[in-house]
Amino acid sequence: MANTYDFGLVGLGVMGRNFILNVADNGFTAFGNDLDEEKVNALIEEGGDAEKVNATTDAKVFVAALSKPRKIMLLVPAGKIVDVVIESLLPLLDEGDIIIDGGNSFFTDTDRREAYLKGKGINFFGAGVSGGAKGARKGPSIMPGGSREAYQHVKPIFEAVSAKYKGEPCVTYLGPKSAGNYVKMVHNGIEYGLMQLTSEIYDLLKKAGGLSNQELHQTYSKWNKGRLQSFLVEITSEILAQKDDLTDGDLVDAILDKAKQKGTGKWTSQNAMDLGIPVPTIDIAVSMREISALKEERIKADELYDRPSPTAVDKAGFITKAEEALYFAFIMAYAQGMHQLADASKEYGYDLDLGEIAKIWRAGCIIRAGLLADITEAFKADDTLSNLLLSSSFVEKVQGTVDATRELVAYGATNGIPLPGLSNSLTYFDAYTSQRLPLNMIQAQRDYFGSHTYERLDRGGIFHTEWED
């Protein structure tokens, strides 16, 4: 058994077990490791043939079973535990071995680990894995970053296990250091935005359009066959059709409206602020999860204030507009995320290829969508494109859907239905496409009270005015 298995995986939870079985399905031999004996036994049983998939609780047995250079993937919760696992493996490894962190680690942690392990002759990869448990089993989108040379050793395995879009694997080498974790973080930021948008439109159609869950299910299902085709629209449709086991009602109506989060959306927002790149659709999606968590306060506040009753709408026309607005806002969410990636690429030296990133998001991951084929083409056509809104191929798509978005945002504002994702997307568009913004006033105010100086439109140089004289 010594030195024969192609791939090692530490952490046999749901993701780990599914991923390792996927590796074995694709003709590679794989060995798992977990401290929990039950998980080890469950994998051995499910794997069937121990020569193809085996597992142990003993790290020494595990490391000794792997062929060199060892390729060891960690699918353990992000944070301290990653360091603990790395430290426990280190004395058992040889120079040139490869550790791949497949969790949602914060990118600066990945940079720190990569530098530390490089000093010990070990190659370290941060590889975002998207697609949930089903994706891990049947084909996820994988976003690896690290040493380009070392990637050649894991490439055949990752390409085999990843999702395929028209036969093309949804994985590619993304860049050095934490490029993989960074791209996955922004993927999750976009994921937050798209989830917020799909849930707002569901709310609007329910409250203003009066659609039943069944009608909403049909609407989302129809949209999923058109230009909004995406994993999140698809599962929204399925969720709306789900009956509740515990009552006679629909399950969605029984679920508490407090959304949790593990932090990747927040990190995207925080880092976008650090970079100075606006991602307001993502920012508001994070804020909405925070507002949702204030359920008890929301209940009290609801009793203090009146809210208008939604005015009647033409149902069919309203649904058409909702489809247009959702499409518009989806574009804004992707545009913001890609813009952040373009800037981070320069700031952190990732040298990202945005067309390749959009390409590996076309299948397997949570934000997979028909729209990503168009986004891929836009970035392939112009690899200097910083923002999707500057691509001529997107002008018509945006122009054709912005009016409906304006109408719905206005309707939401007048009728007291919060549409923060939609309105932030619209405001982003209006501001980004404005030659002149009122920020001249802010510069004047800054100079007025703090002598912070300003520049002028009509001539170069730095100016200051003694305003109070």
Interacting residues with ligand 6PG (CB under 6 A): 104, 130-132, 188, 191, 260-262, 264-265, 365-366
- Taking the complex as a whole, how short is the minimal distance between the CB of residue 345 and ligand 6PG, in angstroms? 20
Is the CB of 60 or the CB of 134 nearer to ligand 6PG? 134
The backbone torsions φ and ψ at residue 254, rounded to the nearest 5 degrees and listed phi first, read -95, -10
Helices (H), 162-241: 179-207, 213-223, 231-241
Burial of 134 (C-beta count, 10 Å sphere; 0-12/13-18/19+): exposed
Q: Which of 191, 234, 323, 324 is an active site residue?
A: 191
| Dist. CA 267–CA 108, nearest whole Å | 11
Strands 168-169 and 164-165: antiparallel
The least distance separating ligand 6PG from the CB of residue 145, rounded to whole angstroms, comes to 16
Q: Which is nearer to ligand 6PG, 130 or 336 (CB)?
A: 130
CB atoms within 10 A of CB 310: 17
Given 39, 52, 177, 184, the catalytic residue: 184
Residue of minimal CB distance from ligand 6PG?
A: 130
By beta-carbon proximity to ligand 6PG, the closer residue of 104 and 219 is 104
Query: Which is nearer to ligand 6PG, 77 or 310 (by Cβ)?
Result: 77
Q: Is 356 a catalytic residue?
A: no
Least distance in Å: CB of 289 to ligand 6PG?
A: 8
- Shortest gap between Cβ of 303 and ligand 6PG (angstroms)? 30
Rank residues 93 and 366 by Cβ distance to ligand 6PG and give the closer one. Answer: 366
Q: How is residue 279 annotated by DSSP?
A: -
Other CB atoms within 10 A of residue 34 CB: 23
At its nearest, how many Å lie between ligand 6PG and the CB of residue 133?
Answer: 9
Whole-angstrom Cα distance, residue 188 to residue 462? 41
Alpha helices by DSSP H, listed for 119-178, are 132-138, 148-161
Which residues have C-beta within 8 Å of that of residue 231, sequence separation ≥ 6? 365, 366, 367, 368, 369
Provide, rounded to whole angstroms, the least separation between the CB of residue 196 and ligand 6PG: 11
Q: What are phi and psi of 178, to 5 degrees?
A: -90, 20
Q: CB of 141: closest distance to ligand 6PG in angstroms?
A: 8
Tell me if residue 191 is catalytic: yes
Q: Which is nearer to ligand 6PG, 170 or 211 (CB)?
A: 170
What DSSP string runs through 388-450? GGG-HHHHHHHHHHHHHHHHHHHHHHHHT---HHHHHHHHHHHHHT-S--THHHHHHHHHHHH
Q: Which of 117, 432, 100, 385 is nearest to 377 (CA)?
A: 385
166 or 260, CB closer to ligand 6PG?
260
> Minimal distance in Å, beta carbon 264 to ligand 6PG?
5
Under a CB-based contact definition with an 8 Å cutoff, are residues 350 and 176 in contact? yes
Residues 6+ apart with CB under 8 A from 277: 336, 339, 340, 343
Length of the chain: 469
Q: Are the C-beta atoms of 174 and 349 separated by less than 8 Å?
A: no
Pairing state between β 71-74 and 98-101: parallel
Q: What is the rounded distance in angstroms from the CA atom of residue 391 to the CA atom of residue 338?
A: 12
With a CB cutoff of 8 Å and minimum separation 6, the contacts of 137 are: 18, 19, 21, 22
B/e letters for 341-361, b = 16+ CB within 10 Å, e = fewer, are bbbbbeebebebbbbbbbbbb
Kindly state the smallest distance separating residue 75's Cβ from ligand 6PG, in Å.
Answer: 11
Q: Which residues are catalytic?
A: 184, 191
